Structure 1
Amino acid sequence: MKAIGFFISAVLFFSLAHTGCKKDKKEYQEYISYTLTVKVDNGADGGPKSGSYQNPAGSIVNYGYRVLDDYTDMVVMLGTDTVPYEGSFIMDGNKTLTVTTKQMVLWKYQTEKAVYYSTPAIGDDGTLYFGTGMGGTSDGAFFAISGDGTLKWSFAGQYSFFSPVIDASGHIYVQDFGYNCYAFYPDGKLKWKLPNTLFPRMVENVGQRCPAISADGTIYICADGLYAVSPTTREILWHFPESRTKSSPAIGPDKTIYVVFRQDRVKAINPDGSLKWENRFDNPWEMSYAAPAVDDRGFVYIASEAFYEGKDYSALYAFRQDNGEIQWRYPVGLFVRASPVIGTNRSVYIATKATETDIARLICLSPEGEKRWEFEVENVHGMPDDIYSTPTLGADGLIYFGAETGFLYAVRASDGVLAWKFDLKMTVNWSSPVILKNGTLYIGGMGGTDYEGYMKAIKTGCPGYAPSPWPRFRHDNKNSGASD
């Protein structure tokens, strides 16, 4: 950015002639000046800087300011009047120039690799746990960050890390892209590792593979089927065999575990590892990268995506929890990687990817599967900007989500109207917003040509989550993946 300066010009002199006596005639020259008081807060750059300046009467003051990256809502006031960010005025009296901004980014923590897949889990002491890496052969790391943005500990991994889950004892469990599962104590000491060599039929896939944890502490892990694992001993309690899964399990109110296996097989598994029911998507080419969401009315919502023979078959399904029957299917029309969430009025929200000809959007459906509204996300980078980030429902009536546009969006849940957006200066992929009761929002992303990662703390006025059955990705701040 070029520096913004200011200059003061035009000095006014007054010549006063004393005419009382011709022979004693004198000329007087008088200098008149006014005080310019400037107050610029920390979120703005430009000039003049904060301070007090004496300026000649009639002089012109040029000014100009820009808002810094971590701030928003800059207001420039000349006296009691709001003025443009750049301009000029005449010093015809004492003046006050005030520049105020609103701080949005409370802190940011930079990592070597992108925070691509991971949504942070929050411990009881406010510690954030999250992973980095972009999948495939990319290595990653796992981090514990204090609530003030300082590093507590980190762990280097061979693969990228997905989103972690925290149990009642504060122990952390996380899977990596290679299907290894790690358990950590809160101080960073490795509790145990469940290596991928235990999963003989495992097939690596992109997606969001996050463990789920039940009320009794059992850890459910997807690999070549579903595994129930003891959190203390690492003992495999039971194994429901299948070939592979791209998504994460979710636990219903009756402790049933819901998982999508292979490409199109939706299964409900009892807590003892037996099959409760099985169903499929309408088309065998549909697949799911999204985690299920479970409501309190007897339904589980699962998103699919498919493009076959020139037609898009992506959809959102409502399955009955008791028998697996499809209650309704809504054709989304665009690929879906984000997971569904459920509102206080039992509306269902889903976000989509984009195509070369169609932009990404956030869609609100009624409990009966009818579209209520949709919010379209602008294309910023001259290419399809997707929404992978699962929406988060705030207690303030707003829906928060990130996108590859680089913005954090706040959209009204009632009608889909944009309340505000903020340029995060980073691309948001799978990482989804996490909100504390004090209004702090955490979200991860990547930026720059080196694809470095960031975890950012954003200041909002939102006092936590909407009181709904499933308001965010993985249900709660510990990423349990389990209904209340």
Structure 2
Amino acid sequence: MKILFMSLLMGLSLYACKDDDMVDMAPPGVDFNYTPSSPVEGIEILFYSDPTEGSSPISEWHWEFGDANNSTSNKRNPYFTYTTAGTYTVKLTVKNQAGGSFEVSKTVEVAPPPKELITNIVWEFNNNTTVSKLNEGSSSPVIGDDGTIYYVEGNGSPVNTSKVVAVTDNGSTATLKWATATASYIANAPSIGPDGHIYVNTWQNANMVYKLNGATGEVMWTKGGRGASNTTPAVDTQGNIYHGSRLQSSDGGLYSWSPTGDKRWQIVNQGAFYTAPVLSKDETTVYALNTNEGKLWAVNTADGTMKWSESVGMGSGTHGSSLSMGADGTIYYTTNAHVVAITDNGATGSVKWSADVTGAAQSGVVIGPNGDLYTGAGAGLVSLNAATGGINWTYPLSTNESVPAVDVEGRVYIGATNGNLVVVSKDGILLKEIQLGDGVVNSPTIASDGTVYVEALSGANIKLFKIAVAESGPANSYWPMKGRNVKNTGQSK
């Protein structure tokens, strides 16, 4: 009897302990966030929540979205769409099994829809050169001080039909000013020197770099080396140019030439440089990506001596990357696996961050007016945070050989492979698809009045398009388009 009584007491004691545990259960705790981080009227928002450290298990979730209809949800991670722009207080209340509760509130700013994008294809120009595909190297048109538009018909069939073409923009029409054939095909974009003349690299060793008269198209000089591809020449304010070579062997390297064609210096036997270089603000340093070594080089522009090299170590296949720079001097470039930010510390370089972005190699990084970064990639157009490399959003599309361009409203223009020029808002919302051809559309250039010039493959021809955009212009940012400006100089100032 005594044993039975003791057993009953112990059972009651255990039961009492369990009740006490329920009463004394740790309170719940929670936090939430939402995406996109800059919500827009009419666009679905995902609200997502996670228990905070030390929280007891949460059994109930209750959301109040603060709109006029007093909308609610009992899902842990609900979707919700605001039909009107404004400021809303969102409250999440959670409970545990013991009835303990916790609530957290946040203010959500919902912006009105993006400003209507009004565009018009003013003209298209066709020089009627038969090509096998669009020229490589993220080619983009360049604009002279007199308004002449220069572009490239590369990868011609046969290869010696590649041309640099100059077009006079008459307003509503365009006429051919001149077209100069090169001895080998052109796999990169041209650039313009301070004297108004054109620089372009070609595949052929004997004629690796050309200087063409901007007014007449006459070949002023051509120099040999190791052949070049995917490397638009950077041009400093004195007219000196800097570019890489294409050979993936010990013969490749980096070159600099004076405006008169004198070789200032060369660094050879170092592998290929399939990237467009960028110049520092004071023009004492040129940065270029060595494809073979997987290293970013910082080279003294005066004599070609090495300052430092920083290992990429983050994927391969860096063909076509167009280097760029932020206002703080951060250098950005792309590989097949990553977008990378490098800091120049003076005597050394260091990786600031790297972001997993598959298939970004043949594009480049540009900067929007709010400081966000944009690049083309395998998944489409990608927006990244400049401070951390975190991905803000991805707009899905098929793109190749296109460096985006950003306008003053933060709208991002990028060429697709289906013949469309695609325009997306700064928040990743599709604004317009402009049909230009039936193949790849290359890198757009935005003039000071907002006019967009871009090349597109249409049948067997490369066509140049002029697209008028109302109330626009290049983004008020440090690097709004390929090469930073309409001359593709790669100057960081």
Q: One fold, TM greater than 0.5?
A: yes
> CA offsets per residue over residues 396-440 of structure 1, 9 Å max, x none?
221111110211111111x111122211134234x3111122232
The aligned residue for residue 468 of structure 1 is 477
Equivalent of 1:130, from 138, 151, 154? 151
Distance 1:203 1:182 in 2: 11
The aligned residue for residue 271 of structure 1 is 301
| Contact residue 290 and residue 338 of structure 1 kept, 8 A | yes
Structure number having the greater strand percentage: 1
Q: Cα offset for 1:331?
A: 0.7
| Contact residue 318 and residue 335 of structure 2 kept, 8 A | yes
In structure 2, the CA distance between the partners of 1:366 and 1:235, relative to structure 1 (3 Å rule), is closer
In structure 2, the CA distance between the partners of 1:286 and 1:107, relative to structure 1 (3 Å rule), is closer
| Contact residue 120 and residue 443 of structure 1 kept, 8 A | yes
In structure 2, the CA distance between the partners of 1:452 and 1:216, relative to structure 1 (3 Å rule), is same
Number of residue pairs the alignment of both structures matches: 352
Distance 1:283 1:463 in 2: 37
Residue 315 (1) aligns with residue 342 (2)? no
| Contact residue 203 and residue 244 of structure 1 kept, 8 A | no
Equivalent runs, 1:57-456 vs 2, <5 Å = 104-111=120-127, 112-114=129-131, 115-117=134-136, 118-134=139-155, 138-139=159-160, 140-148=162-170, 149-161=174-186, 162-178=188-204, 180-196=208-224, 199=225, 202=226, 207-223=229-245, 224-232=252-260, 234-241=261-268, 242-255=270-283, 256-263=285-292, 264-272=294-302, 273-283=304-314, 285-305=316-336, 314-322=337-345, 323-353=348-378, 359-377=379-397, 385-413=398-426, 415-429=427-441, 431-448=442-459, 451-456=460-465
In structure 2, the CA distance between the partners of 1:284 and 1:442, relative to structure 1 (3 Å rule), is closer
In structure 2, the CA distance between the partners of 1:189 and 1:360, relative to structure 1 (3 Å rule), is closer
Distance 1:410 1:127 in 2: 25
Distance 2:355 2:466 in 1: 35
> CA offsets per residue over residues 19-70 of structure 1, 9 Å max, x none?
xxxxxxxxxxxxxxxxxxxxxxxxxxxxxxxxxxxxxxxxxxxxxxxxxxxx
Once the two structures are aligned, what percentage of the paired residues are identical? 26
| SS of alignment partner, residue 182 of structure 1 | strand
Q: Cα offset for 1:445?
A: 1.4
| Contact residue 279 and residue 491 of structure 2 kept, 8 A | yes
Tell me the TM-score normalized by structure 1.
Answer: 0.69
Residue 457 (1) aligns with residue 478 (2)? no
| SS of alignment partner, residue 297 of structure 2 | strand
Q: Cα offset for 1:479?
A: 0.7
Structure 2 counterpart of 1:396, one-letter code: E
Q: Cα offset for 1:335?
A: 4.4
> CA offsets per residue over residues 279-337 of structure 1, 9 Å max, x none?
121247453420211112131011111xxxxxxxx001100022210010101133431
The aligned residue for residue 41 of structure 2 is none
Distance 1:116 1:203 in 2: 16
| SS of alignment partner, residue 146 of structure 1 | strand
| SS of alignment partner, residue 254 of structure 1 | coil
| Contact residue 407 and residue 450 of structure 2 kept, 8 A | no
Q: Cα offset for 1:246?
A: 1.1
Distance 2:429 2:371 in 1: 19
In structure 2, the CA distance between the partners of 1:408 and 1:283, relative to structure 1 (3 Å rule), is closer
Task: Specify every segment of 5 or more residues in structure 1 that has no aligned partner in the other structure, as ranges.
Answer: 1-101, 306-313, 354-358, 378-384
Tell me the TM-score normalized by structure 2.
Answer: 0.67
